[in-house]
Structure 1
């Protein structure tokens, strides 16, 4: 029996979504964030040493990291390659693009989104009044000098890709699109963060209309205020 250890409002929604798209049954074990810190509860450390979600339990196997889990689901259950390109030929354009975007999501796209959150929290953190201008100045300088330019660089890169093809791996929806959903939804939660990115906005509208995505949200909850954890 497959069990998903799922943290509310987090990356682990992608695993539920992948399972729904593949038509696989699973048991959901849901964990709530600490209302003050918004961190994962200590109970998750009993499941995996890092205390993070998602964790997929499939029989005796215990898998963590969303990209690794999606890779496992593709290799184990997507026999018809509905959501993933066939391994051979390994040099095919679709296969190469699929592999790239599957790993790019957390390796390159998420760090600027996470740093955006960190800078915002520094600016708004409770602190003595005399320290507030210093903290805000540091956060503003980091945002203007590094975080903001990096975020825009990656969003431009993703916008270019989605302007060239409807999906990240090419002409059809794959698990790479599921993996890429979270950084783009994180960027979209920043108010007008995607105002000049029509291809990304179209991508988000299309994925959120998929029945598999809607079923995952119905079971695991929606992404209300993405915080990158």
Structure 2
């Protein structure tokens, strides 16, 4: 049995959502953040040396890193769904946007989270540079979802699952005003309308307000 070790308000929501989209059986094990540090509890740190979510177990397999887990589940359980193959015309776009999230957008949001916590003045050159990189990344994404309903093209794929957390729950840690990005906001409403997303968030983070605009 595939078990998803899920930490609330974390990237592991991607894995729950993927399992719901694929309709595959899985067990969901919840972990709660330390109330003071907001870090993973000892039980999750004992499961994997990095001590962060997501982590999955399946038989002898123990795997961390959300993108790696996504690729593992798609390869083992996807049956060709949600991941265009190399023969598909949208294959390159799918690969690019699948990796855009953790390669470009999420790192700059994480950098801004730390810079803001450090209390840098608003005109600090490092803070301004990070903000500029965030706006450049969001502008790039805005143009894409204004032109296509989903990141890889006309069809929903795992690339959309990857970016969902970064545009929503990640904003609890690194706030972003999406008012200047109407196409991204409309894209988030398309995500919100997906039954599998609704089920995943209700199971993984029940009661958490979803930042979908």
User: Normalising by the residue count of structure 2, what TM-score does the alignment of the two structures yield?
Assistant: 0.90
Give 5+ residue unaligned stretches, structure 2.
Answer: none
**Radius of gyration: which is bigger?**
1
Q: Residues 175 and 93 from structure 1, CA distance in 2 versus in 1: closer, same or farther, beyond 3 angstroms?
A: same
Matching residue of 2:12: 12
SS at match of 1:30: strand
In the alignment, does 2:26 pair up with 1:42? no
In the alignment, does 2:145 pair up with 1:162? yes
Say which of 113, 117, 121 aligns to 2:117: 121
Q: Residues 192 and 4 from structure 1, CA distance in 2 versus in 1: closer, same or farther, beyond 3 angstroms?
A: closer
Contact 2:84–2:94 (8 Å) recurs in 1: yes
Report the count of equivalent residues: 209
Map 1:207-218 → 2, pairs under 5 A: 207-218=191-202
Partners of 2:32 and 2:65 lie apart in 1 by 19
Say which of 96, 121, 143 aligns to 2:92: 96
Matching residue of 1:106: 102
Partners of 2:5 and 2:37 lie apart in 1 by 20
RMSD (Å) for aligned C-alpha atoms: 2.1
Cα offset, 1:119, TM superposition: 2.3
Partners of 1:110 and 1:15 lie apart in 2 by 17
Cα offset, 1:143, TM superposition: 5.9
Partners of 2:133 and 2:170 lie apart in 1 by 12
Contact 1:40–1:52 (8 Å) recurs in 2: yes
Moved more, 183-192 or 19-28: 183-192
Cα offset, 1:206, TM superposition: 1.1
Q: Deviations over 1:135-191 (max 9, x none)?
A: x43x65156521110110100011111112110111100011000112222576566
Contact 1:17–1:216 (8 Å) recurs in 2: yes
Give 5+ residue unaligned stretches, structure 1.
Answer: 124-135
Moved more, 168-177 or 103-112: 103-112
Contact 2:12–2:66 (8 Å) recurs in 1: yes
Partners of 1:225 and 1:173 lie apart in 2 by 20
Higher relative contact order (CA 8 A, sep 6+): 1
SS at match of 1:196: coil
